[in-house]
């Protein structure tokens, strides 16, 4: 039998703290294990979004200060 505390799931730190950080919802280990979400993929997509936003910001600043005319 698997108890909720014994399930090892690769999950973000705000869920490890039981929602004490940014998110206030409590999510148990058994719910996360049953969801089948690979949190490393979630973080990879988030990092790609941040990188894309940074590139767009740099492009906009260069264009604003006379990049291509």
Q: Is residue 21 part of a domain?
A: yes
Q: Is residue 3 part of a domain?
A: no
Distance CA 66, CA 60 (A): 10
Q: Is residue 52 part of a domain?
A: yes
Q: Is residue 32 part of a domain?
A: yes
pLDDT-derived band at 61 (thresholds 50, 70, 90) equals very high
Q: Is residue 4 part of a domain?
A: no
Alpha helices, DSSP H, located in 1-69: 13-16, 29-35, 39-64
pLDDT-derived band at 69 (thresholds 50, 70, 90) equals low
Q: Is residue 39 part of a domain?
A: yes
Q: Is residue 69 part of a domain?
A: no
Which tens digit of pLDDT belongs to each residue from 2-52?
555 555 566 666 666 555 555 556 767 676 667 788 888 999 999 999 999
pLDDT at 47: 96
Q: Is residue 2 part of a domain?
A: no
Question: What's the domain range around 16?
Answer: 11-64
- State how many domains the chain has: 1
């Amino acid at each position: 039998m698997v108890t909720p505390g014994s399930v090892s799931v690769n999950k973000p730190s705000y869920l490890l703290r039981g929602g004490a950080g940014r998110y206030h919802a409590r999510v148990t280990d058994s719910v996360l294990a049953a969801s089948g979400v690979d949190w490393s993929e979630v973080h990879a997509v988030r990092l790609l979004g941040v990188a894309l936003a940074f590139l767009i910001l740099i492009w906009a600043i260069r264009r604003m200060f006379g990049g291509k005319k």
